[in-house]
Amino acid sequence: MPSTYDLNVDGTRIHFRHGHMHDWLIRKLPVVPEFFVWVGFMLARWGLRFIYDLGEKLDIATRKAQGHTSFVDWALQAAQEQGADVVVTAHTHRGLRSERDSQLFLNSGTCYKGQFSWLHLDTKAGVYQHLTSW
């Protein structure tokens, strides 16, 4: 699967990107995040998920302190550069729908902390939803 993919459907330009390109650690040292995903899985399996959650909060705070642009800002800028109306990302595993000016940001979500989420994209009807329930 390519890192980015563009579609023009029913007059709507949609820019898909995984999102790992925004994560500097994955770009520079991909083995480190892979290791911490494994550690997080093991901590959750041992009933110590709270330790992983603390590490995640520290990671978010560190990125903010270092002046990293938010994932949404980064994705919307990439969509604007591609001339897209909608940008769809993944990578963070946190579902989200956000609108700024004439652009729409959607993050697929998948499963995060036991909550399932997904996207419903209906270009004919102009409906773009992030769903969390059946």
Range of the domain at 10: 4-131
Assess whether pLDDT exceeds 90 at residue 14. Answer: yes
Comparing 50 with 25, which gets the higher pLDDT? 50
- Count how many domains the chain has: 1
Please give the pLDDT value at position 75: 86
The span from the CA of 100 to the CA of 132, in Å, is 22
Assess whether pLDDT exceeds 90 at residue 27. Answer: no
Assess whether pLDDT exceeds 60 at residue 96. Answer: yes
